[in-house]
Structure 1
Amino acid sequence: MDGYLWYIAQVDRLNPDNQVSPAEAEFMVRAGKIAKKVGGSILDLGSGSGNDFPTIQAAEVILPVLAVEPNRFTWAKAEAQAQELKLSVSFAANLEEATNARKR
């Protein structure tokens, strides 16, 4: 089995419901208040299959998310997660691609 697929399976096994802990939610709300003041977008480095999207949503920040993840295999699951949470997410494989996407 592919090592990366094994890792994803373990993450899903440890947190199958992908629930946000109260501490994560509180932290993200505070971070969200700062992000609203600064504007721009949220950069999610190593976004994988979107497991952090519920935490980003908990911040109640209405900013677009730029998800940087080199493994395009995970993008479909991350995109489905974003749609379910009604987050505006664009994807990039690396930081160069992400930088170019922000310039457009």
Structure 2
Amino acid sequence: MQTNVVSHINAVRNSGRAEEIMLVKAWRNQKGLKFPSFYLELATIEACRGRKVGHLSENFLATLAYIRDHIETATFIDPANTNNVISEELTLEEKRAVASAASVARRATNWNQIVV
């Protein structure tokens, strides 16, 4: 896969969603999910598009809802190389596992059930 890592870093850095991304990565790691970092970052940025910066808990929950509802069908293209379809890094079964985990997290009534 030909890409430009600097471009990826800049896309994430300039998104203004570093806190949301860190929280989603912590959730992914604690749940042992296969969800490649750049794919997760792009999904988080998309989920937070148009949402207010600084509303971390609301944006995190919106990201979980986005993952639950769209990760199986959303297409994410590498901004550094449009021939790379980032969303093809996971199989449908793997995407369903991530969506299921996000669904469980969204139903949680306590933050300790989502991420600690």
**Normalising to structure 2: TM-score of the pair?**
0.29
Higher helix share: 2
TM, length-normalised to structure 1: 0.32
When you count strand as a share of all residues, which structure comes out higher? 1
